Amino acid sequence: MGNVIIGQSGGPTAVINASLAGVIKASKKSGIKKIYGMHHGIEGFLKEDLIDLDDYIKDMSDLSLLKRTPSAFLGSCRYKLPEIEGNEDVYEKMFGILEKYDIEYFLYNGGNDSMDTIKMLSDYAAMHDKPQKFMGIPKTIDNDLPLTDHTPGYGSAAKYIATSMKEIIRDNESFGAAKPTVCVVEIMGRHAGWLTAAAALSKDSDCDGPDLIYLPERVFDIDDFMERVKKLAAEKSSVVIAVSEGIKVADGRFVCELGQSNDYVDAFGHKQLSGCASYLTNLITQETGLKSRAIEFSTLQRCATHLASRVDIDEAYNVGYIAAKSAFEGKTGMMITLEVVSREPYLVHYNQYDIHEIANVERKVPKHWITNDGTYVSEQYLEYARPLIIGNILPYYTGGLPKHLSLKYHKR
Amino acid sequence: MGNVIIGQSGGPTAVINASLAGVIKASKKSGIKKIYGMHHGIEGFLKEDLIDLDDYIKDMSDLSLLKRTPSAFLGSCRYKLPEIEGNEDVYEKMFGILEKYDIEYFLYNGGNDSMDTIKMLSDYAAMHDKPQKFMGIPKTIDNDLPLTDHTPGYGSAAKYIATSMKEIIRDNESFGAAKPTVCVVEIMGRHAGWLTAAAALSKDSDCDGPDLIYLPERVFDIDDFMERVKKLAAEKSSVVIAVSEGIKVADGRFVCELGQSNDYVDAFGHKQLSGCASYLTNLITQETGLKSRAIEFSTLQRCATHLASRVDIDEAYNVGYIAAKSAFEGKTGMMITLEVVSREPYLVHYNQYDIHEIANVERKVPKHWITNDGTYVSEQYLEYARPLIIGNILPYYTGGLPKHLSLKYHKR
């Protein structure tokens, strides 16, 4: 058996390192000699910037800490391989590196674009009769990969979003003896509304949940929005709204683009940009005089491992483990997928699909899961998402703060 | 013995309800008949909007859940009592309500402004020989009350800020194979930099910590800032900077005001506003071409009870308990303070000070705790703050989310 290499790619998640831990455990179990990591994914690989994981992971205690470390431990990248035709030199170079390090198993952990890397490399291997195996490990908070019930990383992001929404709603309700405050929370997801939908999970026997939820799957109508805000503000002492960063008005412009003028520059000659929540709260205050507040979860929603879902960590670990094991068994050009056999009790199978059916395909929230004229999500969505946020794996705390494994500080 | 009333005032914290729990426990222990809550603080009290806490707290299990509930359970307010002279009617009305409900002990939980309420009421009682006792319970994430080592609420906000900074730094480091991303994190505190200083707690054996930290105690020099950012970006693959929302340039304007023009309105005729992190990141990208990202913790830093510090929860509980107990013993016109006898091991005494020495006084970060020409905080600050973020009290989870006690949903 040859060696293993694993890369992490695209936007990090709270559980991406759990998949790395799964790959390492499967490799150790199978007696693999060397486990390499790509430093900053395929971009580092092309520069032969490889990490010997034995320098960092000595025992189960290191592996447990790795599972509790947010963001890509190996470093990530956003890098798309060129077409094979006309770029054979790039591919020859890559296979040259694989041969040089006796790497037989190539694993790549990422979203749609990253699966394209597996597709290209396995295609090239098939064309040139190369022995190496290439397997994809799913990862993205965006939850937009096809053929898998959901994607590792989504559950923890959803748990962070739902928890923070509960806390924000509670905070916003604490005032409101006089005029209500309208709070607009902006959530990631340019094209698919999976993350924004997770705001609805905060609705429970102890919490109203957000009053309105806007996904990018539907056209955003500003007039209708303002009407609804005014009505809510007349009825309630606290109004909280969840919006996707990707909502667009009918003419196709992003809401976050509406506040920007090409002419306007500040005192220093710079153009000012703002997010869509910021745009909408300004609009609300100007039109109604109500106090409003814009909140963006920003990168916190993809790196809050302190609040990761146990189901998500376990599944991320498992897809890593199974991808490695499948490669050792000779599989190539595939991605591991999750099939939920039963949502209650929650039971999962792991399958694998041809990477050609997955790469570059984007899965959106089903239209019929969006309700109330596009201002909320349905019970079907909630039944889908509820099992994914269950359970915790607590950080290791030192000095009151979660401890992380670091490429920079923990080389032995 | 008469009855007790307790109010919560000002910006909520992650542990304000732990103080309420302390008051309830002390009252039950002393055999108090009725414990009233003011619905939305003194504002609700003036409208005779009182809550009978027996309707919500039946046993220790309710009290434990209350301690784990973020934001003011009773509702908060921002309301300053008028001067006594010329407004005797307001005070007569308030003492009328106290007499009507046989309330002998009045407890108020808040920051500088709220302590003013205790001062006014105890002054009026002294002037008119009233029997009621008035005690202040300290609370503010801003940590700016005088005569107390620190303020309940600060430790948990600091823990949230330091934890999130670690996670953000880890996330920001994951890219950076090519150009670095400059991340500017905006933290609460208009006048005092205590919360922003807490970003430095993230610096540890597994984390660089932020590269620069700017508190409002020092004038902010934009040119010097840009020079430092350029230098850091040339040396590092990730740059993360913490700024207080209250930083000001030499002419006295807030940085967040610099991006705003009175002339500029968007397509809908509205003036656009943005925060200081947003202003600075725009500036960085315009001047350097570097990718930049603004993150605001916003209200999350004061309501993230899921990440509260055990030291903070315990101290919040204790100041509530001791304030009530002191009132029962006949004390009035005072606030409970924390005195740290030893920082290592961490040992605390609870004292009480005359409210006249506290109300309306604001305590800032000592000048000599701000280092490097105003771009960092000293080891002295770190020694001060480290004990305050230790330990966790975990939420009660149901369905994967923290459970809260709610005024709206949990009336028996």
Q: Hey, where are the domains in chain A?
A: 3-140+148-153+307-361+390-402, 154-303
Long-range contacts: B349-358, Cβ < 8 Å, 24+?
Answer: B350/B318, B350/B319, B350/B322, B352/B322, B352/B326, B353/B147, B353/B148, B355/B115, B355/B118, B355/B119, B355/B122, B355/B134, B355/B136, B356/B119, B357/B146, B357/B147, B358/B112, B358/B115, B358/B136, B358/B145, B358/B146, B358/B147
**Cis check: omega of the bond before B146, within 30 degrees of 0:** no
Cβ atoms B172, B292 nearer than 8 A: no
3-class state of residue A114 by DSSP: helix
Which structure tokens are listed for B173?
């480091």
Mean pLDDT of B385-391: 98
- The residue among B408 and A133 whose pLDDT is bigger is A133
pTM of the model: 0.96
At A258 the pLDDT is: 85
Whether residue A361 has pLDDT greater than 60: yes
* Angstrom distance (rounded) from CA A218 to CA A240: 19
% of chain B with per-residue pLDDT over 90: 88
The pLDDT of residue A168 is 97
ipTM of the complex model: 0.95
pLDDT at B377 over 90: yes
β-pair type (A334-343, A346-354): antiparallel
Average pLDDT of span A326-345? 98
- In angstroms, the CA A149 to CA A348 distance is 10
8 Å CB contact of A402 and B43: no
AA identity, residue A138: P
Report CB contact under 8 Å: B299, A299: no
- CATH class for the region spanning A3-140+148-153+307-361+390-402: alpha beta
Tell me the fold of B3-140+305-360+390-402. Rossmann fold (3.40.50)
Which among B171, B389, B404 is the nearest to A207, CB-wise? B404
Q: To the nearest whole number, what is the mean pLDDT of chain A?
A: 94
Q: Which of B142, B144, B312, B314 is catalytic?
A: B142
pLDDT digits (tens, 9 = 90+) for B48-93: 999 999 999 999 999 999 999 999 999 999 999 999 999 999 999 9
Closest by alpha carbon to A167, among B70, B66, B392, B398?
Answer: B70
CA of A361: how far to CAs of A116, A144, A149, B308, in Å? 10, 8, 14, 41
* The residue type at B8: Q
pLDDT value for A410? 86
Taking the C-alpha atoms of residue B248 and residue B217, their distance in angstroms, rounded to an integer, is 9
Helix (H, G, I), strand (E, B) or coil at A228: helix
> For B9, left (φ over 0), alpha (ψ -120 to 50), or beta?
beta
* Coil vs helix vs strand at B393: coil
| Alpha carbons A378 and A91: distance in angstroms, whole number | 46
Alpha carbon A142 to its chain centroid, in Å, reads 5
Helices A310-328 and A154-174, axial angle in degrees (round to 10):
170
Rounded to an integer, the average pLDDT of B223-235 is 96
Query: Does residue A265 have a pLDDT over 80?
Result: no
Residue A359 confidence (pLDDT): 81
CA distance B119 to chain A (A): 23
User: Which of A173, A264, A303 lies at the smallest CB-CB distance from B171?
Assistant: A303
pLDDT at A267: 47
pLDDT in tens, A269-309: 544 456 899 999 989 999 999 999 999 999 999 999 999 99
Q: Give the separation between CA B392 and CA B310, rounded to whole angstroms.
A: 5
Topology of domain B154-303 in CATH is Rossmann fold (3.40.50)
Q: How confident is the model at residue B179 (pLDDT cuts 50, 70, 90)?
A: confident
Are A170 and B303 within 8 A, CB to CB? Answer: yes
Computed over every residue of chain B, the mean pLDDT equals 94
- Of A113-122, A396-405, B271-280, give the lowest mean pLDDT range: B271-280
Which of chain A's residues have a Cβ under 8 Å away from the Cβ of B182? none
- State both tokens at A147: 């053929």
Distance CA B183, CA B284 (A): 10
Question: Which of B206, B307, B404 is opposite residue A403, by nearest beta carbon?
Answer: B206
Do B185 and B48 meet the contact criterion of CB atoms below 8 Å apart? no
The token duo for B365 is 């970060």
Q: Are A225 and A247 in contact (CB under 8 A)?
A: no
Q: Does B175 contact A296 at a Cβ distance shorter than 8 Å?
A: no
Answer yes or no: is pLDDT of A50 > 90. Answer: yes
B chain contacts of residue A207, beta-carbon cutoff 8 Å: 404, 406, 409
- Strand spans (E) along A286-375: 291-296, 334-343, 346-354, 370-371
Q: Summarize pLDDT for B311-328 with one digit per residue, the tens.
A: 999 999 999 999 999 999
pLDDT of residue B273: 52
**A167, A274, A390, A406: which to substitute to probe chain B, counting the most B Cβ within 10 Å?**
A167
pLDDT value, residue B102: 98
pLDDT of residue A262: 44
Distance CA A339, CA A342 (A): 9
What is the per-residue pLDDT across A231-261, written as a single tens digit (0 to 9) for each? 999 999 899 999 999 999 999 999 988 876 5
Residue-level pLDDT at B122: 98
What whole-number distance in Å separates Cα of residue A300 and Cα of residue A277? 16
Pairing type for strands A50-52 and A103-110 reads unpaired
